[in-house]
A = this chain, B = another copy of it.
Amino acid sequence: MSGKRSLIRSGTTVDQMVRAIGDRIVTGYLRPGEKLDEASLAARFDVSRTPVREALGQLSAMGLVERRPNRGAIVAVVTQDHLASMFESMAELEAICARFSAERMTSSERRALEIEHQASSRMVRLGAEEDYEYFNTEFHSRLYRGAHNTHIHDLTVMTRSRLAPFRRAQFMLPGRLAKSWQEHDLIVTAIMRGDSVAAGKAARDHVSIVSEASAVFAADDRQPIRRDVA
């Protein structure tokens, strides 16, 4: 979880499988409820079933996959209730990160946050959604790191990745880009002032709004899944 090999390409086959399968889940390529057949996955990635099984076990420990004994694994199905609880948690976690960031960010962290944030305004003007998404991710990462608390960082990143499939469509709402930027701006301003209460509130509100935007799309994802594994 707080593994250091985040960017490094992993050594073992199992790690690669965890990332490969995990990515496909997080990016929505594999949809909730979809069956994860050991043999097919093994064939697809040209390894034996053993590393696939280990990977599925780890993904199950992370909550991305559900395993029914003797009945195979499926991409974790997220109920509306659970989804709501994750979004609510996310709001609280981000609030904590923002609050701590307001109190603890070093001056260079603050500077970097502000600069990146200002840079992202260009993407808003251009309506460059892909590019804005990059800045957006970076922005939130800076908040998590700025909290100077590795455990909160890990919990937040984990929760965020679990929500990723449900957040992807959010920027398709018209005007969402500009609104997101303004919300970020509130957070940045509060952090620069060292106003931890305001920063926390702004961050919580930001996520809450995203959550409402996403709920709409989550509702679509109801149809059963039938798709090639890779």
Chain A residues packing against B (C-beta within 8 Å): 1-2, 10-12, 14-15, 18, 50, 53-54, 57-63, 69-70, 81-82, 85-86, 88-89, 92, 96, 149-152, 154-155, 159
Contact = CB atoms under 8 A, between A and B. Distances in A.
Contacts of A86: 151
Given A11-B69, A14-B57, A54-B53, A62 B151 contact: no
Q: State how many copies of this chain the complex holds.
A: 2
Contacts of A69: 10-12, 15
Q: Chain A's interface: helix, strand, loop or mixed, by majority?
A: helix
Nearest to A155: B155
Nearest to A158: B155
A84 to B, nearest CB: 8
B54 A152 contact: no
Contacts of A15: 69
Contacts of A1: 61-63
Nearest to A96: B92
Contacts of A57: 14, 54, 57-58
12 contacts: A1-B61, A1-B62, A1-B63, A10-B69, A11-B69, A12-B69, A15-B69, A57-B57, A61-B62, A85-B152, A155-B155, A155-B159
